[in-house]
Amino acid sequence: MVNDISGGLLDPAILKVAGRTGAGIVLGHLRGRPATMMDGVAFRDVVSEVGGELAERVAAARAAGCHETWADPGIGFGKRLEHNVALMRALPGLRARLAVPMLIGVSRKAFLGQLTGKPARDRSFATAAAVTVAVLGGAAAVRVHEVAAMRDVVKVALALAPPEA
């Protein structure tokens, strides 16, 4: 599987390569380039804008022949604390809008440090909470550092989740 943080915007050929080879692709949300992604961050409605931009990338991937397409709202990628929180809260709606599996990467992210006041090395519990929210919000996969521990978090979150209505 190809994990493209830019959703094919930094290297548009990646969509054709994934489509031609049959590789799955994760389309991340990112405005700009990684080196400057935090410069001039501005959203009027982060959930609507990220959802719309990811929908465009999903359509482009499908047009390129990608059959296994995932979406990642790019938590921490060119987004401020309030944007990350809004996106995490909106995961069920994003998943429904995009109609593709979601990959969420929250492990040790800076926004968790902003919420807890802790450095990256001390964000395991914050990561566990965010992973739980992601799973309950419909994430099909999570990207984490502490795989064994977060596997347990996912197992428990799924076991305790209320049944879907």
Q: Per-residue pLDDT averaged across 139-163, rounded?
A: 96
pLDDT tens digits along 35-92:
999 999 999 999 999 999 999 999 999 999 999 999 999 999 999 999 999 999 999 9
Q: Alpha carbon of 89 to those of 2, 58, 115, 131: distances in Å?
A: 26, 21, 15, 12
- In the beta sheet, which residues pair with residue 71? 27, 102
Q: What is the rounded average pLDDT of the residues 103-115?
A: 98
The CATH superfamily holding the domain 2-160 is: Dihydropteroate synthase-like (3.20.20.20)
Sign of the CA dihedral running 109, 110, 114, 120 = positive
Torsion of CA 150, 151, 157, 159, to 10 degrees: -160
**Would the pLDDT of 107 be above 80?**
yes
List the domain boundaries for the chain.
2-160
Q: How confident is the model at residue 165 (pLDDT cuts 50, 70, 90)?
A: very low
pLDDT tier at 163 (50, 70, 90 boundaries)?
confident
Mean pLDDT (whole number) for 86-106: 98
**Higher-confidence position of 165 and 129:** 129
* Global confidence as pTM: 0.95
Which residues have C-beta within 8 Å of that of residue 109, sequence separation ≥ 6? 75, 76, 84, 123, 127, 130
* Residue burial 5-17, b: 16+ Cβ < 10 Å; e: rest: bbbbbeeeebbee
Q: CA quadruple 31, 2, 155, 120: dihedral positive or negative? A: negative
Mean pLDDT of the chain: 96
When pLDDT is cut at 50, 70 and 90, the band that residue 153 belongs to is very high
Q: What is the pLDDT of residue 164?
A: 75
Torsion, Cα 109 114 119 121, to 10 degrees, reads: -30
